[in-house]
Amino acid sequence: MKAFLGAAAALGLLALAPSAHAARDYVWAAGSSTVFPFSTRVAENFAKKTGKKSPKVESLGTGGGIKMFCGGMGEGFPDIANASRPMKKSEFEACKAKGVKDIIEIKIGFDGIVIAMDKKSPDYNFKLEHLYLGLAQNALRGGQFVNNPYKTWKDVGSGLPANRILVYGPPPTSGTRDAWVELAIEGGAKKFPTIKKLHDADEKGFKAKVDPMRKDGAWIDAGENDNAIVGTLTKTPGALGVFGFSFLEENANVIKGAAVNGVKPTPQTIANGSYPVSRSLFIYVKKGQVGVTPGLKEFLNEFVSDAATGRGGYLQGRGLIPLPPTQHDAAKATASKLTLMAPPKA
């Protein structure tokens, strides 16, 4: 009898002990609003093919998604971070400090950041310099940084429309915002020899001067809902919006994209890099959760499959610009072998 009671007590203690496996029975991905529609579509197809519960996909912005991803291991944190820029060194170190040490980085395709407007609006052909001068808090004027004085786009460049400067764009937590600042704002600023000299001598000082966006109402942080920005453009005459190419393609019946340096955003110009405001998209995966979270490996395989991210795949129909075949094959190999990423350099 005593032996029976002892065994029962031991079983009871085992039942109360934390499980070695996640109690969560679904894959959880969080992060970029740009990657969100792609990840959601993969989740739908994964659920149909496998019969498993559909993964949970959250749109929090790249920074917000990586922060949550790096919060720790186990069921309380996402298995995947969706990102519209590479993970930063500081984020990688934050992950490591919380026990998230084995991270897999997979590039899934390309996206362009577009400057869009209502179809009835005049056409814009920006130079990168125009985007910096029109939208940065500190504009270069007479060789000095001054509080941005420009009211209309014509003030910025003689060939631009006379519309007031009013742009709705992504918030600081967004990977789109990070890429926008790096490619458009910093890229435009460096066209001026004075600022290029500052960049080469003091990168931190350069970023402190150049990166802040206007706070006087010319630039408006519009949240992570890019569809809401599209709606605003159709209701606000003269307004421009900044978001990923896929949203332009999905709403091409009501909005159009501006040219930058004479190049219009198209799948071809984004893939070959001739459109200057283009970037790579990523997913980050916890290797330690593979085999713990049910379906994670299968979801990962679906994401990198030819049917999803290959040329002519179903994500191309949603606006993803596919990788060249060699890069796509490398992504498949990384997912298959669960190859860990190298620590970021910056």
Q: Would you state the pLDDT for residue 225?
A: 67
Which residue in this structure is represented by tokens 């029962």? 8
- Which amino acid does the sequence have at 316? Q
Q: Does the structure show a pLDDT above 60 at 13?
A: no
Q: What CA–CA distance (Å, rounded) separates 155 from 16?
A: 69
Q: What CA–CA distance (Å, rounded) separates 243 from 47?
A: 29
- Which amino acid does the sequence have at 202? D
Burial-class residue 60 by CB neighbours within 10 Å (0-12, 13-18, 19+): buried
Query: Within the chain, what is the greatest distance between any pair of CA atoms?
Result: 95
Beta bridge pairs of residue 257: 116
Q: Does the structure show a pLDDT above 80 at 15?
A: no
pLDDT tens digits, residue range 213-248? 999 999 999 866 667 788 888 888 899 999 888 888
The domain spans of the chain are: 28-111+280-337, 112-278
Enclosing H/E stretch for 147: strand 144-147
Q: Does the structure show a pLDDT above 80 at 250?
A: yes
Average pLDDT over the chain, rounded to whole? 90
CATH 3.30.365.10 fits 112-278, yes or no: no
Which residue in this structure is represented by tokens 């934390």? 18
Q: What CA–CA distance (Å, rounded) separates 178 from 165?
A: 21
Which residue in this structure is represented by tokens 């460096």? 190
State the pLDDT confidence band at 1, using cuts at 50, 70 and 90: very low
pLDDT tens digits, residue range 132-146? 999 999 999 988 999
Q: Does the structure show a pLDDT above 60 at 20?
A: no
The DSSP letter of residue 248 is H
Question: Fold match between 28-111+280-337 and 112-278?
Answer: yes
Rounded to two decimals, the pTM is: 0.75
Q: Which residues of 175-200 are buried (b: 16+ CB within 10 A; e: fewer)?
A: bbbbbbbebbbbbbbbebeebeebbe
Q: Which CATH number fits domain 28-111+280-337: 3.40.190.10, 3.10.590.10, 3.40.50.300, 3.40.50.80?
A: 3.40.190.10
Half-sphere exposure of 43 (CA within 13 A, CB side): 19
pLDDT tens digits, residue range 275-291? 999 989 999 999 999 99
Stretch 63-72: mean pLDDT: 96
pLDDT tens digits, residue range 118-168? 999 999 999 999 999 999 999 999 889 999 999 999 999 999 999 999 999
Which residue in this structure is represented by tokens 């917000």? 64
Q: Does the structure show a pLDDT above 90 at 336?
A: yes
> Which residues, other chains included, contact 132 with Cβ-Cβ below 8 Å and sequence gap of 6+?
139, 184, 185, 186, 187, 188, 189, 191, 210
Q: Would you state the pLDDT for residue 262?
A: 96
Q: What CA–CA distance (Å, rounded) separates 242 from 170?
A: 7
